[in-house]
Amino acid sequence: MKAMTSTLALSVFTSSFRAFGLFTLLASSVSLSAQAQNNNQPPPVLVQIDEAREQAISQLTWVPGTVLSVIDANLASEVDGRITWMAEVGDVVKAGEPLVKVDDTRLSITRNQNASNIARWQSQVELFTKRLARYKNLQASQNTSRGELEEVEADLENAKQELAQAKLDLEFTEYQIAQSSIRAPFTALVVERLQSPGEYTGVGQTLLRVVNPDSVEVQVRAPLNVLPYLANGMSVTVHNNVNQVEESIRAIVPVGNSASRMMELRIAINPGDFPIGSAVRVALPSSDTHDGVTIPRDALVLRKSGTFIYQLNENNEAEQVKVTTGVGMGDRIEVFGDVDPKRSVVVRGAERLRAGQKVRYDDERKSLTAKN
C-alpha cells in the first residue's frame, strides 16, 4: 500500500514538474519572441518641429533692390592750395574730424595783411575824429568854413567804412583758413580719393567721395500695380543669399516711369544687415490680404496620393493631415485642411514618419526623436 502511494505521489510530482516546465518554456518563448520583435524595430527617427501660424496672407511679388547710403557725397575744396594730407580710402572719420588738409601758408600771410589794414584804418578813424572835433570848435567861433568841416566829416566816414571792410577781409580770411581743413560733415566712410596729397586743388574741385555707413536703406523699383497694397511703415521681407530681415517701408514715391511703369520705394534697414551697394530682393504684397494658416514649406510631404503634413497631438503622436496649398510667403506657405494652428508641425524627418508614431524631445539637439 505504501509502495502504491509513493508511486502515485511520484507520478503526480512528475506530471506537475512537466507542466511547470512546459509553462516556463512557453513563457520564455513568448518573451524571446517579444524581444526579437523589439530588436527588429527601426531605430528612432530624429525630427525637427516648427509652428503652424494664423496670420494675414497676401500674394507676394519679389522685386530687386539696391542697398545704398542715405548720404553719398562728393566733398570739394573751398580754397586754393596744395593738399598736405588726406584720409585713406576705407577710413571712417567721425563728424567734425578732418578729412583733407590744404596748405594755408598763403592765407596766413593774407590774414596778417588784413590785421595791418585794420590797424592803419583804425588810426585814420582816430585822426579824423580828433580833426573833426577841432573843426567843430573852429566852426563855433566862425574861424573855419562850413565846407572844410564837411570835408573832414567825409574823411572820417570814409575811414570808418575802410575799417569795417578791413575787418570783413580778416573775417573772410580766417574763414578760408578754417576751410583749408575739410572736415567730415557726418560720420564718413572714405570710398574714393579723387585727388592725392601733393596735388594742387582749386575752389570747387572734388577731393573725396564719402558715404555715411550709419544711415542705410534699400532703393527698390516696383511695378505700379502693387501701389494699392502698400503703405508707409509696412513691414516687408528683404533678403539675399546670406541674410534675411523684416524691415519697414520708409517712403513711397507714387510716380511711375513712362517707359518701365515702375515706381520707387525706400526701405530703411539697420547698418550691417547688408553691404552698401549689394543687390537684394524685396517681397511686396500684390493682392488683398486674408486670414489663413501658414506652415514652413519644409513641412510638406509630397506623395502620389496627395500632399500631407504631420502634426503632434497632446500625446506626442504624429498625426498625418492631408492639405492643399495656397499662397506662398517666403519660406512659409498657406495650407488648407484640418490643420490645427495650436499644434506643432514636423519640418525635418517627416518623410520617414508613420501616422501614430510617438515623439519625444531631445533637449540637447533641439529636435524630437520619433519612437513607437
pLDDT digits (tens, 9 = 90+) for 245-283: 999 999 999 998 888 889 999 999 999 899 999 999 999
The predicted structure's pLDDT at residue 352: 80
Domain residue extents for the chain? 45-57+290-371, 60-70+215-285, 79-102+182-214, 104-179
Per-residue pLDDT, 344: 87
CB 199 within 8 A of CB 85: no
- Measured in degrees and rounded to the nearest 5, phi and psi for residue 347 equal -115, -15
Q: 79-102+182-214: same fold as 45-57+290-371?
A: no
How many Cα atoms are found within 13 Å in the side-chain-facing hemisphere of 228?
6
Q: How many CA atoms lie within 13 A of 48 on its CB side?
A: 9
Contact 263, 245 (CB under 8 A): no
Asked if residue 203 lies in contact with residue 84, where contact means CB atoms within 8 angstroms, the answer is no
Please calculate the CA angle 144-145-150 and round it to the nearest 5 degrees: 110
Contact 249, 205 (CB under 8 A): no
- Taking alpha carbons only, the member of 312, 306, 295, 305 closest to residue 353 is 312
Kindly report the length of the chain: 372
DSSP 3-state percent helix, strand, coil across the chain (nearest 5): 30, 40, 30
Nearest to 252 by CA among 285, 276, 294, 204: 285
Distance of CA 291 to the CA centre of its chain: 28
**Domain 60-70+215-285 indexed as CATH 2.40.30.170:** yes
Which cell numbers in the block locate residue 20? 511547470
Q: From first to last of its 372 residues, what are the pLDDT tens digits of the chain?
A: 444 444 444 454 445 545 444 444 444 444 444 444 455 544 556 778 888 989 888 888 899 999 999 999 999 999 999 999 999 999 999 999 999 999 999 999 999 999 999 999 999 999 988 888 887 777 766 666 777 777 888 889 999 999 999 999 999 999 999 999 999 999 999 999 999 999 999 999 999 999 999 999 999 999 999 999 999 999 999 999 889 999 999 999 999 888 888 999 999 999 989 999 999 999 999 888 889 999 999 899 998 889 999 888 888 788 899 999 988 877 889 999 989 888 888 888 788 888 888 776 554 434 555 555
Within 13 Å, how many C-alpha atoms sit on residue 93's CB side? 24
pLDDT score at 45 = 65
Give the pLDDT confidence of 337-358 residue by residue, as tens digits. 989 888 888 888 788 888 888 7
* CATH code of the region 104-179: 1.10.287.470
Q: What is the pLDDT of residue 58?
A: 85
- CB count in 10 Å sphere of residue 220: 23
CATH number of 79-102+182-214: 2.40.50.100
The Cα–Cα gap between 127 and 201 comes to: 44
* CA-to-CA separations, 15 to 10, 19, 350, in angstroms, rounded: 9, 6, 56
| Cell digits of residue 58 | 497676401
What is the pLDDT at residue 327? 85
The pLDDT of residue 35? 47
What Rg do the C-alpha atoms of the chain give, in angstroms? 45
Q: CB neighbours (10 Å) of residue 204?
A: 8
The CATH number of 45-57+290-371 is 2.40.420.20
DSSP at 21 = H
